[in-house]
Structure 1
């Protein structure tokens, strides 16, 4: 509804002020129309779901009020509101537009940014757990390439690993020449994900403020049919976000796999259990991360290339933006699960390196992990631990709040 307000506010939709006021009243009262998740092909706009939103404004359908689903007339009565009576052009202006697709894409973008940034913290845990080196994060390496996200990711990793005893303990005399890519190339991968999310943010920022219904009332008074309802930019942005989510999860999963494999983890016990044999440690947690990663790989396949003709071939090319954006909900849920498992594995691996200590920042991160997820000794149900860590990650920067790290901003410049 907020995006529809922005669109109508451009003054090109031919609606009365009363329409805008009705949307404002719904928002102020906390009335949320019930709309279907499916039914839009992203051109001519999100017709079906926006029709359900509009139906609520005129007193039809169902809404949520205070978290309770009820018939719209009941909610209007409870809030002292009356149904809107639409005039000419207003029904079409309300149901035509890309607001549902854009809202879903923005939700996927914001959750995705949070998860990718959180994965930088868990990746730093993995570096120390695997006794990897921070040398590949040297600022000059990344300045020589010049990608903004890569330089920022490398800086974040340097800050997270600063003054780690584990890291400095093998700075000299280590027989390993270089780390596997999942450790060494983190800035290049996470940074590219950040840059891709920013590109999507730039597109969605424009779309969120756009007039996308049809026809539009131009400044000279002419009413002209166009195609601003076609959500191709949103579909492309959603596909970009999906690629970033899949890749962030893929490299995180490879770090988990490295930590549980004694052939790769440089001295850690198999599956990170301090008492192997009868205990399987994080074996199945790693398998779970692989399953989540594989799901996201499939979900990352582009939706914007899957056009099909509709409406007797008048609408013969469509964007599929709505389900391109909707699948980001599932992808973010999978990604936060992978990152939560890496947090568990990284913390466990670092504690198994005692008496060597990690950096001050990462010690505090581990304290926050241990607040909700105790260290793993003998086998126990770990699904509850994963869920607890997912909740911690959803709090945003809960891992690193107050640690004085250089902020990472999702801007659209």
Structure 2
């Protein structure tokens, strides 16, 4: 079911809802009364503690980082909120995709709605208004350490949403519709007044892991669907290679006790059901990239499921510093490090590693299809007339280059740390770098699988009556591909066709049709 509206409660946000807001512009509902009351109660306590009891709290009436021991007069706490945003508008590089920025905004809004940040509901409502009117801040992709929160990218959002005490000041840049304007102009066109912040609110807008969490949500959504495409592409290659089915036998995989492995073997058997190409010669077994697909892709699925669970818990976590909690008769403040993104950094790295392997094994099958010594009788480079025609040789070159690129991108960012802030922040997660690398890997994997689809479809056509001999699922996928791309009889520009296949993968046409044919839900 398509998600058309989302409620921010601080407790119930899901990955699917984040994706719906980010990609499909689902409406975000106004804050409910329970959420507003929770936020107002903690904010009122903090206001009294600062202005009436003169209590000192980190980042509220002190400086930040190495300036934590510098006390700020309470009447200057609002200026501190503005200054911390200004000081962090330092990002560099190309702008993040708008879907990523929208995901960050809804995640940050939900985090602040938990009530533990002790800020006014109007701060969350400001982000909700911007999402619903599609004001999308221009956020440079680089600059976050993944600890002390994703300060830099979140500051580029906050600077658009807020203003100084005079209702003006630097406003960054933002898209309104297709126009890139100053933040102030974009907000005026959307009829959303920029917000003057009071104590703590500036820090709360930027002191979170929302960049990493947003990347994680979008990545999980893409990864879950991409491994389904990997199953289908593998099945088509198995058909074209006349693979040995014993490698996917139920008993073999039941004995493994591994859920993902069993799932992949089951899916391959369903995709190949009714095939007259599978087991059509006397081979005993195939190369690892063919017979070990469940053992390779199964753990990928389990890793994605593990990361999903961690990321979804993070969406409804209170990530700020300090946090305000209700006590028996009152509230109390606790300062710590919940903004540290080490866990999310691990998830980005885990996903990068396993998705790189999806591309790695896919490329090996494409290579096998193109190589006569490995393809069980297919013509060299999958072209009928060799010599004058090069065939699909260079499509696999591209896949190989992307696989190699992934090996560099998948180097774990979480094992790196550079001390900052005069060693007050002496260990950081570097998870934001991991997030960027993960999304680049996912794009590479998508293209590698598209190349396998291209090669497998061509190889099937080169088998005698190949398309008539396909199993149920492979036949469905083959038919969709051939609606877009015809068999090559001679050399042909392949880049446009690879992009057509990438589009088929991204719009989920193949897995939706195949799963409908096999009576399998889209999500495994």
Q: TM-score, structure 2 length as denominator?
A: 0.76
- In structure 2, the residue matched to 1:318 is 428
Find the residue that maps to 2:414 and give its secondary structure: coil
Residue 294 (structure 2) pairs with residue 187 (structure 1): yes
- In structure 2, the residue matched to 1:243 is 353
8 A Cα contact 1:368 1:399, kept in partner: no
Q: Superposition pairs for residues 5-404 of structure 1, below 5 Å?
A: 5-59=109-163, 60-170=171-281, 174=282, 176-220=283-327, 221-356=331-466, 357-401=469-513, 402-404=516-518
Aligned positions, number: 406
1:329-384, CA deviations, whole angstroms, 9 ceiling, x for partnerless residues?
Answer: 21111101100000011111111112241113322211111122211110011111
Bigger mean CA deviation after superposition, 150-159 or 400-409 = 400-409
Q: What is the CA-CA distance between 1:117 and the residue it aligns to? A: 1.4
8 A Cα contact 1:105 1:326, kept in partner: no
1:377-401, CA deviations, whole angstroms, 9 ceiling, x for partnerless residues?
Answer: 1001111111111111111253452
Choose between structure 1 and 2 for higher RCO, CA contacts under 8 A separated by at least 6 residues.
Answer: 1
Gaps of at least 5 residues in structure 2 are: 1-104, 164-170
8 A Cα contact 1:246 1:300, kept in partner: yes
1:201-256, CA deviations, whole angstroms, 9 ceiling, x for partnerless residues?
Answer: 11111111111111111222222211000000100000011011100000001001
Find the residue that maps to 1:32 and give its secondary structure: strand
1:284-327, CA deviations, whole angstroms, 9 ceiling, x for partnerless residues?
Answer: 01111111111111111100000110111000000001110111
Separation (CA, whole Å) in 2 of partners of 1:360 and 1:23: 47
Find the residue that maps to 2:180 and give its secondary structure: strand
Gaps of at least 5 residues in structure 1 are: none
2:521 to 404, 407, 413: 407
1:73-112, CA deviations, whole angstroms, 9 ceiling, x for partnerless residues?
Answer: 2122212211111011111111100001110122222222
Separation (CA, whole Å) in 2 of partners of 1:408 and 1:193: 17
Change over 3 Å in CA distance of 1:407–1:133 after alignment to 2: farther
1:150-209, CA deviations, whole angstroms, 9 ceiling, x for partnerless residues?
Answer: 111111100100010111533xxx0x2211010000011111111111111111111111
Separation (CA, whole Å) in 1 of partners of 2:155 and 2:463: 59
Q: What is the CA-CA distance between 1:405 and the residue it aligns to? A: 4.0
Greater C-alpha radius of gyration: 2
Find the residue that maps to 1:391 and give its secondary structure: helix
Change over 3 Å in CA distance of 1:3–1:135 after alignment to 2: same
Q: What is the CA-CA distance between 1:53 and the residue it aligns to? A: 0.8
Separation (CA, whole Å) in 2 of partners of 1:222 and 1:273: 73
Separation (CA, whole Å) in 2 of partners of 1:27 and 1:190: 37
Q: What is the CA-CA distance between 1:407 and the residue it aligns to? A: 3.1
Find the residue that maps to 1:375 and give its secondary structure: coil
Find the residue that maps to 2:421 and give its secondary structure: coil
Find the residue that maps to 1:77 and give its secondary structure: helix
Find the residue that maps to 1:63 and give its secondary structure: strand
8 A Cα contact 1:22 1:84, kept in partner: yes
Q: CA RMSD in A?
A: 1.3
Separation (CA, whole Å) in 2 of partners of 1:335 and 1:39: 26
Q: What is the CA-CA distance between 1:21 and the residue it aligns to? A: 1.2
- In structure 2, the residue matched to 1:3 is 107
Bigger mean CA deviation after superposition, 150-159 or 346-355 = 346-355
Separation (CA, whole Å) in 2 of partners of 1:29 and 1:400: 31
Q: TM-score, structure 1 length as denominator?
A: 0.96
8 A Cα contact 2:147 2:428, kept in partner: yes
8 A Cα contact 1:260 1:270, kept in partner: yes
Find the residue that maps to 1:158 and give its secondary structure: helix
Separation (CA, whole Å) in 2 of partners of 1:106 and 1:362: 30
